[in-house]
Amino acid sequence: MNRRSLAAFIFCCSLCAGVQGAEQPLVTMGSKQVFTPDDLVLADRLQERAASYGKELNMAVPQTGKFNTQAEQIRQNMQLKLQQELASQQGGMWGNADFSKAQFDTLIFASFSLPRQALETMYKAAAGSERTAIVFRGLPPGCRTINAAIRKIQELAVSMKLKMPPNVLINPVWFKQYQVSSVPTILALEGKTESQSGDPQTGKAQPKPKILASVRGLLDPAWLYQRLAEGHSGDLGVQGPLEDIAERDLIEEMIARAGQIDWQQKKEAALSRVWTNLPIEELTPAQQRRKRLVDPTFTVNQDLTLPDGTMLARKGERINPLDRRQFDRLLVVFDGSSQREIAYVKARLDQWRSETHTAPQRVRLILTGIDRERGWDSYQSLMNFFDDEIFVLTPEVKQSFALEHHPCIVYAEGRNFAVEEFSLDED
């Protein structure tokens, strides 16, 4: 695909940037699907939305520099978005905490490397406590998604039939900030944690509260609270057995998964599906030749003013845009899936330009249909055949000119738009 065809296509599909892929979510947060690889490819590529040419009729093709740059940065964008998404939450919380305001001054660092009995003791100790959170570093062994991790973490509380479950969350940020390398580890903090452990705008971790006292090897913070009451503080050592952490840092794991994806293949697969999903407004074939005049006059429903107070139009005023702005374009709308219609339009294009006194560069070729199975090949062949850029019919253009049948042409005639429809069987 050459630069011109790529630029033209970006414009014609900029109004329908939400192309859906068939991939499963790579990352989920609770019940929310964060993104899929195809979402990233197409969202990044099509985020430069052109202005609606049904309103402004400004057909300028956007530059492709940023498009091409983004296409080469898909993996980096994914990493950034992943970290921002993780930072914007505390890894997903469960329990009796208000998720939007959850703050804790006691952190119990845990892992599924601990025996089940130890985890049950920990759950009982933290049950119902608004100030305490049990913290895991990543997905439990055997879990590939956040949803699976939630189910496994909740199984304990459900099986224990606790009236008030503990606050349990996955937050690799705190493990790194407090340099926790073995479990169980309990920290009593000088102040409460932030409701979010990271800044979603920058992906950077929030400042950590200082540690009042810490202990390793215990499952219940009661012993630590007693030592604090007695005036002790700082590192109070190891008071019980320790285990290595079974879970990998969640952020590092997801970034590693991203690094294993063949982004070039994903990019190509996503592009190959574009024409299958791209919405194109449909018209019906014209049964007879017909010319209609469309009056674009409308009534202003409220006063329109500039920021400096200059009055543009008053409520109730009737305005015809053609009185204020010249329309010197010729729109040619046709079915790009019909070889007969393509040939018909090609044979009459010069005649239509001449009759409407339209300069070649002011003609816009617009599709109301295309061979979707051939996709890019069909689109490229049309570009080559007409040696011009090709666009697709949008709801705004269809409605603005009251289009009904194809092929047709649209041009200005006095204070109206003229719409001429042509029957292939009559000519």
- The string of pLDDT tens digits covering residues 96-106 is 334 445 689 99
Same CATH fold assignment for domains 91-254 and 284-421: yes
- DSSP H/E element including 38: helix 37-45
pLDDT averaged over every residue in the chain: 76
> Cβ contacts of residue 318 below 8 Å, gap of 6+?
297, 298, 299, 300
155's CB contacts (< 8 A; 6+ apart) are none
Overall average pLDDT of the 55-62 stretch:
30
Q: Where are the domains of the chain?
A: 3-86+258-276, 91-254, 284-421
Residue among 131, 299, 121 nearest 220 (CA): 121
Question: Topology of 91-254 in CATH?
Answer: Glutaredoxin (3.40.30)
Give me the pLDDT at residue 221, please: 96
Average pLDDT over residues 86-90: 40
**296 with 328: CB under 8 angstroms?**
no
Q: Name the burial class of residue 316, with classes exposed (0-12), middle (13-18) and buried (19+) by CB atoms within 10 angstroms of its CB.
A: exposed
Whether domain 284-421 has CATH 3.40.30: the reply is yes
Q: What is the pLDDT of residues 144-153, one digit of tens each?
A: 877 788 788 8
Q: What is the pLDDT of residues 35-48, one digit of tens each?
A: 333 433 333 333 33
- Enter the tokens of residue 92: 């997903």
pLDDT of residue 416: 94
The whole-number pLDDT of residue 279 equals: 85
Within 10 A of 199 (CB to CB), how many other CB atoms are there? 14
End-to-end CA distance of the chain, in Å?
A: 35
β-sheet bridge partners, residue 416: 413
Residue 359's Cβ-side half-sphere holds a number of Cα atoms within 13 Å equal to 4
Q: What is the pTM of this model?
A: 0.49
Confidence of residue 16 (pLDDT cuts 50, 70, 90): very low
Q: How many helices (H) and strands (E) does the chain have?
A: 15, 23
Q: What is the pLDDT of residues 120-168, one digit of tens each?
A: 999 999 998 989 999 999 888 888 877 788 788 888 888 888 888 888 8
Tokens of 16: 């329908």
Say how many CA atoms lie within 13 Å of 215 toward its Cβ.
20
Least confident of 152-166, 223-237, 372-386: 152-166
Cis peptide before 209 (omega within 30 of 0): no
Question: What confidence score (pLDDT) does residue 101 get?
Answer: 56
Q: List own/partner pairs for 347-351 with CB under 8 A and 24 or more apart.
A: 348/422, 349/386
